[in-house]
Structure 1
Amino acid sequence: VFILVGIIACGGEATTVKIGLLSPQTGPIAQYAPGFEDAAKVAIAELNTTHEGDFIFELIVGDSGCDGTQAGTSAQTLIDSGVSAIVGAACSGATLGAIAVAKAAGVPMVSYASTSPGLSTADDNGHLFRVVPSDAQQAVALAAVAAAAGASNPAVLYMTNDYGAGLGDNFASSWSGSVCTQVGYDPNEGAYDASSLAQSVIDGGCDSVLLMSYATDGAAIMEALSAQGFTGSMIGADGLA
């Protein structure tokens, strides 16, 4: 934003700077959207206080839906509204969908939560940035946590989106031991069966389970595991936090 300010500033009357935010107002992590939007409003308020008289910062919010297609559509709407930059998206797939639109318009994006390794090599024409590390790094940390917890034959339950699949694959590559089962699922409400996923862990004789999940689906799977008598370690990544 401050680089942007330096480019736009030219003295005289206050200049309006529109900043877009891609927030997951719908989809599997909609419960986080209010917090993301509140944080953005705090940042906008601080910018307006710091640059009072020179700039008027305006926040415009679009729904990413945690989905690449919807995020691309919302990114175009933000661009048509005159934003100078886009903050977001949260979900990796949404960010990948949005950058395809933003790069064509020459609008930079900064993701606040997308961790898929695929973003590091995305065709973004130099317009995509993020403030969180790649899951290629998180997977190494998860492997260390699992080992410290005494896991020797873990199950890997992962969402089949860019975030979950990327983290699941990177964990499997980082884990030096065996993996008793690796099962993917769609995290959208009504698209997965927590009991069946839990049963796959029980049937595999797994001593622990790694969850590459979001909060709602992850909680449902953990409850199902407990209900079916699973007593092993349950280890979640950042999406479960």
Structure 2
Amino acid sequence: MLVSRGPRRAALTAAACAALLLAGCGSDGEGEAAQPQPTQVRLYGTDGNMQNSFAAEFDQQTGLLKGMKGTTPLTPLSDDFKERLRKLNSKLSDYLYSAESYDAVAISALAAQLAGSTDSAEIAKQIIGVTTGGERCDSIAACLRLARNGTDIAYRGVSLSRGGFTDIGEPSTASYATLHFGSDEQLDDGKTEFLGAGDESSASVKRPPAGKKQTKAIEESSGAPLKLGGLLPRTGDLALAYPPMAAGVALAISELNGAGGVLGEDVAWVDGDDGTNPNTAKATVAKHVDAGVHVIIGAGASGISRAVLPDVVAAGLVLFSPSNTDAGLSTIDDKGLYFRTAPSDILQGRALADMILRDGPRRIALVARKDSYGEGLQGNVRAELERAGHGSEQVRLFSYDPPPNPDSPPVNFAAGAQEIKQFGADAVLIIGFGESSKVIEALATAGVSLRE
């Protein structure tokens, strides 16, 4: 709301009130001055909280998600793929990163098949090439048949449907969805829109080592069975994303083994939790090393992958995440052993900024959890907003410390909520996981008027 300044503004206001006296300008009808209406604030979210299961994180207040909008890396999923997932988990309510998890497992297995070995270093040499250059195949069974003959393939699965991997082992293209929470605090599929990002021309053109045709001798010397170890967020702040990721992994392994397995043996899955916690994740990695795992699927959160990557590299294993989006991971020193099917947050930052700006906000608050994911994406969104002309007076950054352990006190964002209210934000982006529900509750408690 504009503040009156100078005699001319006051005169105009008085004249307007005189002209509208019968309508009660400046009065509530009983002689008292009308109170200004609070600014309506629109909430925005990201892949860490734009899920149906997020509503269950609110144990004190309800109705706060109505109208919240956000973006997430998401490919339009076929009814057939969803049905195959639901056969493994009939209670599945979200599909976030299910496709990326499925593809991470499939690519790892196909790489081992082409390498003719379960040696992690040999698998790593094949992973990028599995997605580029060769004969296109779009199912696990079809790709396995080609790989067993040593044929160079270009895998096109569920999430990886357009371009292959770049030279640094991540998708060259991505698909994003704009999501909306409806009046029932569940995502309204009828309002979901998809948009593409990235550039197919950035996919790698390097040729991988020649694939090895499967023979009895190769089978016997390969070290099969291929062992994949889980490092997914079964517990912790990101646990709400675990069911679809676990379903995607389970489906891929089922279909790999249903198609005859890899190198003459069924693929083995060694379960493991990252806990959305560095200490839990490091302990799981150590167990996988002892168990002889060849490829670790995870971690869920980017910050957790950063924490465990030195341990994984020291052990000479592959770390393949279906959900890491931290842009900084693109340049991390990984010795060629880190890969991801999730796109970089540089792309999501553009999609988020575009969505927010289309609503025409005046003042924008960007709230992020303090880790590489939260602060990295926050920085990317801020940069995009600045390019659009929204400077420091219009954009404010806020952050919070996520609980270090499940039994730690919940997030206390009371002070930050008051600052956002005083700033007069009419748009608030919240970058976090399940714990970010406490940020929204704090905004409501502070009297911030959340727009439905």
TM-score by length of 2: 0.48
1:199 deviation in Å?
2.1
**SS of residue matched to 1:175:** helix
329, 339, 346: which one pairs with 1:136? Answer: 346
Q: Distance in 1 between matches of 2:355 and 2:450?
A: 14
Could you say if the C-alpha distance between residues 28 and 106 of structure 1 is closer, same or farther in structure 2, counting changes exceeding 3 Å?
same
Could you say if the C-alpha distance between residues 148 and 78 of structure 1 is closer, same or farther in structure 2, counting changes exceeding 3 Å?
same
Q: What amino acid is the match of 1:2?
A: L
- Higher RCO structure, 1 or 2 (CA under 8 Å, sep 6+): 2
1:219 aligns with 2:437: yes
Q: What amino acid is the match of 1:129?
A: F
Q: 1:131-174, CA deviations, whole angstroms, 9 ceiling, x for partnerless residues?
A: 11111221111111111011232011100011001111121222
The aligned residue for residue 303 of structure 2 is: 93
352, 361, 364: which one pairs with 1:154? Answer: 364
Q: Where do residues 1-241 of structure 1 align in structure 2 (5 Å cutoff)?
A: 1-6=109-114, 7-8=116-117, 10-11=215-216, 15-52=224-261, 54-176=264-386, 177-178=390-391, 179-188=394-403, 190-214=409-433, 216-231=434-449
Indicate if the aligned counterparts of 1:159 and 1:165 stay in contact, CA closer than 8 A.
yes
Indicate the percent of aligned positions where both proteins have the same amino acid: 29
Q: Distance in 1 between matches of 2:283 and 2:424?
A: 44
Q: Distance in 2 between matches of 1:120 and 1:192?
A: 30
Indicate if the aligned counterparts of 2:302 and 2:373 stay in contact, CA closer than 8 A.
yes
Indicate if the aligned counterparts of 1:155 and 1:181 stay in contact, CA closer than 8 A.
yes
Could you say if the C-alpha distance between residues 15 and 180 of structure 1 is closer, same or farther in structure 2, counting changes exceeding 3 Å?
closer
Indicate if the aligned counterparts of 1:151 and 1:233 stay in contact, CA closer than 8 A.
no
Indicate if the aligned counterparts of 1:19 and 1:87 stay in contact, CA closer than 8 A.
yes
Structure that is richer in strand per residue: 1
Q: 1:16-57, CA deviations, whole angstroms, 9 ceiling, x for partnerless residues?
A: 221111011222112322332232111111111112592211
Indicate if the aligned counterparts of 2:410 and 2:438 stay in contact, CA closer than 8 A.
no
Q: Distance in 1 between matches of 2:271 and 2:301?
A: 15
Q: Distance in 2 between matches of 1:21 and 1:97?
A: 16
Could you say if the C-alpha distance between residues 106 and 229 of structure 1 is closer, same or farther in structure 2, counting changes exceeding 3 Å?
same
Q: What amino acid is the match of 1:220?
A: K
Indicate if the aligned counterparts of 1:180 and 1:205 stay in contact, CA closer than 8 A.
no
Q: Distance in 2 between matches of 1:19 and 1:138?
A: 29
**SS of residue matched to 2:225:** strand
Q: Please list every run of 5 or more consecutive structure 2 residues that lacks an aligned counterpart in the other structure.
A: 1-108, 118-213
Indicate if the aligned counterparts of 1:69 and 1:94 stay in contact, CA closer than 8 A.
no
Q: 1:163-186, CA deviations, whole angstroms, 9 ceiling, x for partnerless residues?
A: 001111121222120344311102
1:233 deviation in Å?
6.2
Q: Please list every run of 5 or more consecutive structure 1 residues that lacks an aligned counterpart in the other structure.
A: 235-241
**SS of residue matched to 1:72:** helix
Q: Distance in 1 between matches of 2:414 and 2:225?
A: 52
Q: What amino acid is the match of 2:425?
A: C
Q: Distance in 2 between matches of 1:129 and 1:80?
A: 22
Q: Distance in 1 between matches of 2:289 and 2:215?
A: 23
The aligned residue for residue 237 of structure 1 is: none
Q: Distance in 2 between matches of 1:66 and 1:44?
A: 24
Q: What is the aligned-residue RMSD (CA, Å)?
A: 2.3
Could you say if the C-alpha distance between residues 69 and 117 of structure 1 is closer, same or farther in structure 2, counting changes exceeding 3 Å?
farther
Q: 1:176-214, CA deviations, whole angstroms, 9 ceiling, x for partnerless residues?
A: 203443111022262422443322210211121111111
**SS of residue matched to 1:56:** coil
Q: What amino acid is the match of 1:41?
A: A
